Chain A
Amino acid sequence: MIGKRVRFETKHATEFVDITDRLRAEVRQAGMQMGRLYLQSLHTTLGLAVNENEPLLLRDFEGLLNRLAPANAGYEHDDFARRFDIAIDEPINGHAHCRQLLLTGFATLLVEDGELVLGRWQSVFAVELDGPRRRELAIQLDGDFSKANGARGHERDLVELELSRQLLVDPEPVSDPMRRLVEAGGKRLRPKLVQLAAGIGPRREPLRAAALAAAVELLHNATLVHDDYVDESTHRRGRPTVAAAEGPERAIAVGDYYFAKATRLIAEIGNRDVTSTIAEALEAICASQIDDVALRGAFPGDHDSYLRVVRGKTAALFAAACASGALLSEATPEIVEALRRYGDLVGIAFQMADDLVDFSPSSGKPVGLDIRQRVLSLPLIYAAEDRIVGPEVRRLLAGALGDAEVGRVTELVTSSDALQRVRGEAQALVDAAVHELETVELDGLRPTLISLAHSAVDRIS
C-alpha cells in the first residue's frame, strides 16, 4: 500500500481540474500492475467527478450546480451572527458546501496492467466549488507491486521519461498537441513489445531500448494525427483530435514533425537493420491507409481486403516493434523472424478486438462510430455476408448513415453471429501467435509475451 498527496492550485470560483494524467503518473511511478487507487478530497468545498472533458459540457455542469445551489440564496451557514468559532477569514460559501453535497468526496479507480481503467471518454476531475484556493487530495494505491512487474514498471518509466524528454525540447506549436495526445494515455503496446524483445538477445541495453520504444510510440502517434484528419474524427482517447482542435494544417505539420523526429531518433541509434525494419513498416502503414480509404467506396469490403489493410495499417508496426527490439539486442535471425510473425498475428488480432469494441456499449466508446465513419470492420463484413441479416445490412450501408441507420445496422450485426465469428478468429490468431513463440528460446520472457498476446483480445471476452 502506498499513500500520497496530490496538491494543486485552482484559479476560479468554480473549476473542473482534470487530474487524470497526474493519477496515471502516480500509478506508473508506483509500478502498480493490478489493484485500486483510492482518491479522497480533503476539503468540504472540493468535489470529485468522473466524466467527459468537453469544455461545453463542463459549462453545462457548472450551470447545473448554479441552478441547484445558487450563490446568494440565503444560506444559514453564511449567517455568521448565529455561528460559533468562526475563523477570521471565514468565507461566505454555503452554496459551495451544498454543491459539494451533490458531488462526491471520494472515488475508487481500478488499475489493470499498470494503467488506470477508464472508458474512452472518462476523465477524473477535482471540482473546485469555492476557489481560487490551494487544494489537496489524498490517494492510496493498493494492489500488486510484484518484483517482476516492478522491474517492467521501471522499464516503462524509462519510455515515459524518454517521451517527456523528447517532447520537452520540441517547439511548442508541435509539442503541445502531441503532448496532449501522448499524455491522454494509450495502451503503449508497441513500446512494450520493443522493450520485451530487446531483452531477449545477448546485448541488453535498457536505455537504447527505451529510446527505440519511445520513437516507435511517437511514430505511431504521428500516424494517428494524420489518420484523425483523414477519418474526420473529432475525438481520440477522450480528447479532441489535433485536426479538430487546431485545424488540418496544424495536424499535417504535427504529424510530419513527429514522423521525421521518430525516424531521426531511430537513425541515431545506429543500427541499420532496425532503421530498415521500421522504415518498411511505415511504408506499409501508408500504403494500407490509401487502400483503406479506397475501399470505403465498396464499404464494407471483403475478408481478404480487410486482412490486407489491417496487416499494413496495424500489424506492420506491431511486427516491426517486435523485430526491431530483437535486432537491437542482437538476437538470432530465427528469434527475430519468430517475433516478427508473433507481432503480425497479435496486431491483426488486436485490430479485430478493436472492431468488436465498436459494438460494445460498455467500452466507453460511442457504439457504431466505425459504421458512421465507414471504417473497415470485420464484424460488418461478416454481417453483410450473413444469409439472414446480410441483405438489409448491405442496403443500409449503401445509403446515407444517420442515427437510425447506424442503430439498425448495429442491431443487425449484434443479432447475427458476426461478433462471435470475429471473436473466434481473433482468439485463433492469438493462439497462432503463441505457437510462434514455442519454436525459439526466449530467455524466460515467453509467459509475458503470451500474456501480452492474450491482453490484446481480452477486452472483448
Chain B
Amino acid sequence: MSVQLIDRELDRLEGLWEDGLSDMYRSYQEAVGSHDPASQAKLALAAALVEIGVRLQGLGGRAASPPTLLMGDLCLARSSRLLADAAPQTVQVAFAQAIEDMSAAAASGAAGPDTRELLLRALTAS
C-alpha cells in the first residue's frame, strides 16, 4: 500500500528517493504511529519532503541554483498537498509553523532550529 502510494507521489521527484528521501521517510515512520493507519505513509512522506525540500533550496545556507530551488519548491508543495489530504488541522498548522520558524531564522541570519526535531514535533501536534 505505502509502496504504491510512494511511487505515485514521487512523480518528478523519483531521483530523490535514492538520494536521501527514503532514509528521511523511514526516520519519520515511528512518529506517525498515533495517526490513522491509512494516513501514516502520507504523513511520513510529507515530513520527509519538507526536510529534503528545504535542504535542496539551501534554506539557511547558500542559495540553490534555480532548477534545484524549483525542485525544492515542488517538494514543499507536494508535502502541503499530502497534509491537506491526510493530516488533521493541528498537524497542518504545526507543519506550516515549522517552516515559518526555519525560514524566519534563515532570513535573519540566525542559526536555524533543527529541521527533523521541528517536524517530529509537528507530526505529534494536538
Nearest Cβ in chain A — how far from B63, in angstroms?
4
Contact A252 B81 (CB under 8 A): no
- Please, how many angstroms separate the alpha-carbon atoms of A443 and B112 in the complex? 50
**Complex: chain A residue closest to B64, CB-CB:** A252
Interface range on chain B (Cβ under 8 Å from partner): 35 or more
Asked if B16 is at the interface (CB within 8 A of a chain A CB), the reply is no
Contact B100 A260 (CB under 8 A): yes
Nearest Cβ in chain A — how far from B39, in angstroms?
13
Contact check: which of B63, B67, B104 meets A252 at CB < 8 Å? B63
Contacts A264-B96, A268-B93 known; A249 to B69 CB distance under 8 Å? no
**Complex: chain A residue closest to B92, CB-CB:** A267
Please, which residues of chain A bring their CB within 8 A of the CB of B81? 276, 279-280, 282-283
- Please, how many angstroms separate the alpha-carbon atoms of A173 and B64 in the complex? 20
Asked if B24 is at the interface (CB within 8 A of a chain A CB), the reply is no
Contact B93 A248 (CB under 8 A): no
Contact B96 A171 (CB under 8 A): no
Please, which residues of chain B bring their CB within 8 A of the CB of A272? 84
Contact with B along A148-178 (1 / 0, CB 8 A): 0000000000000000000000110110000
Number of residues on chain A facing chain B (CB within 8 A): 40
Asked if B40 is at the interface (CB within 8 A of a chain A CB), the reply is no
Of A36-44, A122-130, A286-294, A354-362, the one contacting chain B is: A286-294
Judged by DSSP, the binding face of B is helix
Contacts A286-B70, A293-B66 known; A276 to B77 CB distance under 8 Å? no
Please, which residues of chain B bring their CB within 8 A of the CB of A264? 92-93, 96-97, 100
Nearest Cβ in chain A — how far from B69, in angstroms?
6
Contact A257 B66 (CB under 8 A): no
Contact A252 B57 (CB under 8 A): yes
- Please, how many angstroms separate the alpha-carbon atoms of A250 and B103 in the complex? 9
Please, which residues of chain A bring their CB within 8 A of the CB of B85? 276
Contacts A256-B99, A257-B107, A275-B84 known; A229 to B69 CB distance under 8 Å? yes
Asked if B31 is at the interface (CB within 8 A of a chain A CB), the reply is no
Nearest Cβ in chain A — how far from B93, in angstroms?
5
Please, which residues of chain A bring their CB within 8 A of the CB of B62? 249
**Complex: chain A residue closest to B96, CB-CB:** A264
**Complex: chain A residue closest to B100, CB-CB:** A260
Which B residues, 69 to 108, have Cβ-Cβ distances below 8 Å to chain A? 69-71, 73-74, 76-78, 80-81, 83-85, 89, 92-93, 95-100, 102-104, 106-108
Please, which residues of chain B bring their CB within 8 A of the CB of A280? 81, 84
**Complex: chain B residue closest to A268, CB-CB:** B93
- Please, how many angstroms separate the alpha-carbon atoms of A295 and B98 in the complex? 34
Asked if B8 is at the interface (CB within 8 A of a chain A CB), the reply is no
Nearest Cβ in chain A — how far from B100, in angstroms?
5
Please, which residues of chain B bring their CB within 8 A of the CB of A251? 63
- Please, how many angstroms separate the alpha-carbon atoms of A275 and B97 in the complex? 16
Asked if A352 is at the interface (CB within 8 A of a chain B CB), the reply is no
Asked if A230 is at the interface (CB within 8 A of a chain B CB), the reply is yes
Contacts A248-B63, A270-B89 known; A286 to B73 CB distance under 8 Å? yes
Contact check: which of B58, B70, B80, B109 meets A289 at CB < 8 Å? B70
Please, which residues of chain B bring their CB within 8 A of the CB of A255? 73
Contact check: which of B71, B102, B106 meets A249 at CB < 8 Å? B106
Closest 10 pairs (CB-CB, A-B): A264-B96, A260-B99, A248-B63, A173-B107, A253-B107, A257-B103, A256-B103, A267-B92, A279-B84, A253-B106
28 contacts between A and B (CB under 8 A): A171-B104, A174-B103, A230-B70, A249-B58, A251-B63, A252-B58, A252-B63, A252-B69, A254-B107, A255-B73, A256-B54, A256-B57, A256-B59, A256-B76, A257-B103, A260-B97, A260-B98, A260-B103, A261-B96, A263-B80, A264-B92, A282-B77, A283-B74, A283-B77, A286-B74, A287-B12, A287-B77, A293-B67
